[in-house]
Amino acid sequence: MTGDRDALVELDRALDELAVGGSPAARAAAGEAAVLATLAAELRAAVPAPPPDAAARGRAALLAGAGAPVPGGGFRRRRFARVRVLAAALLLAVAVPAALAGRALPGTPLWPLRQAGQQARLGLTADPVQRAHLRLNTAAMLLDAARGSGGYRRAGLAACQEQIQAAMAQLGGHAGPEAAAERARAEDLLAGLDSLVRSAGGGERSGPGPGRGDDRSGVGEGGSSGSGGSGDQGGSRGAGGPEGPGDG
């Protein structure tokens, strides 16, 4: 027992010696303590010494953190500054186009981005009435823009019509005050669309219509027949029907 304790103490002294840079085996008596102390010294040598440049960077960072004026700043600070700049750039790269896309019109470069955003929102919305509401918001925006500008009118009217038709399809089988309100809103928008087309000479409604231009019968027909006829489609086509080609 005493021998065991002596061995522990002897090893402990040898490790203390190692800590201050001495040779542990030289102090330790022959035998187990010497072998273990030598092994400890080997372990110490096996762990790579920290690189001096890292120490200099770390020192500078520490002093900078303490408020000392350190030219160039510390490594970690520079790294965090770089991360902040990258994050800001990423935010700008995503947020600015997204914000601009929110007002994008058909035929403009950001229109596909806006459609993708709408698809994402629709994908996150399970309620068909709410989905119809989102589509009608887009339709209303398109209609307003069509009233104000003729440049994008053909594509804009077609996209507006598609959104209304798709909304009507989604509202088709649903009752209740909210669905009724959205349906009334869709009909108002359709009326506005008709009015706009007529004021432009009547040709435009059929001209831009992707519904007519495409082979998608029913989508381009508009009017009240759209709401009635697409009622059954609401369930089956939902997001994948009118939205697919319209938003793609």
Partner 1 sequence: MAELTEVDLEALVRRARAGDHDALGELYDRFRDRVARFATGRLGDAERAEDVTSETFEGVLRGLSAYRPGTDFEAWLFTIAHRRVADHFRRRARRREVELDEARRAATAGGPEDAVLAAERRAEVAGAFRRLRPDQQEVLALRVLGGLTAAQAAEVVGKSEGAVRVAQHRALLDLREQMGVTVR
Residue numbers at the binding site for partner 1 (CB under 8 A): 7-9, 11-12, 15-16, 18-20, 31-32, 35-36, 39-40, 42-51, 54-55, 58-59, 61-63, 65-68, 75-76
Residue 232 one-letter amino acid: D
Q: What is the signed CA dihedral for 176, 179, 185, 190, rounded to 10 degrees?
A: -120
Shortest Cβ distance from residue 90 to partner 1 (Å)?
A: 23
Closer of 40 and 146 to partner 1 (Cβ): 40
Q: How many CB atoms lie within 10 A of CB 165?
A: 29
H helix intervals, 66-106: 75-101
Closer of 44 and 84 to partner 1 (Cβ): 44
Shortest Cβ distance from residue 175 to partner 1 (Å)?
A: 50
Closer of 15 and 101 to partner 1 (Cβ): 15
Shortest Cβ distance from residue 72 to partner 1 (Å)?
A: 16
d(CA 77, CA 65): 9
Closer of 58 and 229 to partner 1 (Cβ): 58
Residue 246 one-letter amino acid: G
Shortest Cβ distance from residue 80 to partner 1 (Å)?
A: 11
With DSSP H G I counted as helix, E B as strand and the rest as coil, what are the percentages for the chain, rounded to 5?
75, 0, 25
Closer of 66 and 175 to partner 1 (Cβ): 66
Shortest Cβ distance from residue 44 to partner 1 (Å)?
A: 5
User: Contacts for 242-246 with beta carbons within 8 Å, 24 or more apart?
Assistant: 242/162, 242/165, 242/166, 242/169, 242/216, 243/119, 243/122, 243/166, 245/210, 245/214, 245/216, 246/159, 246/162, 246/163, 246/166, 246/210, 246/219
Closer of 35 and 94 to partner 1 (Cβ): 35
Shortest Cβ distance from residue 168 to partner 1 (Å)?
A: 49
